[in-house]
Structure 1
């Protein structure tokens, strides 16, 4: 007779404090290696960042099919909610639409700043 082992996922930490982003959206010089990868191959960088955040590796590839990148916008919104960062959905939409590589770089820097495991 075999027994089934069930493991429950750990809850994600959510901050209740209101904070700002650790770096600005155009602070790419803070991490030049990530900035270069995001500039030359944004889909690869977005997939790498998404995997580090704990989501499906290929999720950012869905952004290719729309004019407003839904995955970039939702990842930014999720990160703002998880870390208690000030902002709005409108700002997330504008940033994701106008400068997607900068948004991915900013999210990567934020995870490094917050030391996401």
Structure 2
């Protein structure tokens, strides 16, 4: 009987006969990423920004809403503006968890949403300043703008 000597011993740790492949290290090497440029041309039909239908201080156009906002602003936001903005009536209450007054943050969100939806000229900074400094006037302006938009669509104002 012949005996074949098979070497069954493991090589010492780290001394393997097969080469181990490593990825080259990229630590400290700058990476340049180019992104495609997005350009628009004036030939495409795009909606032009429009102005608000009424000014911020146009409360004399709708005195009843102005009085409602001044007497009970949170109720007006919950039960008048929230449904018309497509929000749940508890949205102002939930936002008051973030902002103790609740009203400033609510009118900021509603004004920005309305401006973006109907392509009204302005900026988030402008919305923020108006909402913090003149929250009641912004709530009235939103109501008047919604009335105008609904009447232009043939729906009776709320």
CA separation in 1, counterparts of 2:120 and 2:138? 14
Say which structure is richer in helix.
Answer: 1
Give the whole-Å Cα distance in 2 for the aligned partners of 1:25 and 1:63.
Answer: 23
Greater Cα radius of gyration, structure 1 or 2: 2
| Alpha-carbon displacement from aligned partner over 1:18-75 (angstroms, at most 9, x marks no partner) | 0000001111010011010001000011111111221111111234342683322111
Aligned residues: 103
Matching residue of 2:76: 45
Instruction: In structure 1, list runs of 5 or more residues that go unmatched.
Output: 1-14
C-alpha RMSD of matched pairs (Å): 1.9
**TM superposition score normalised by structure 1:** 0.79
Report which structure shows greater RCO (CA 8 Å, sep ≥6).
1
Runs ≥4 in structure 1, deviation > 2 angstroms? 61-65, 67-71
Is there any run of 5+ residues in structure 2 with no aligned partner, and where? 1-45
Answering whether residue 125 of structure 2 is matched by residue 90 of structure 1, we say yes
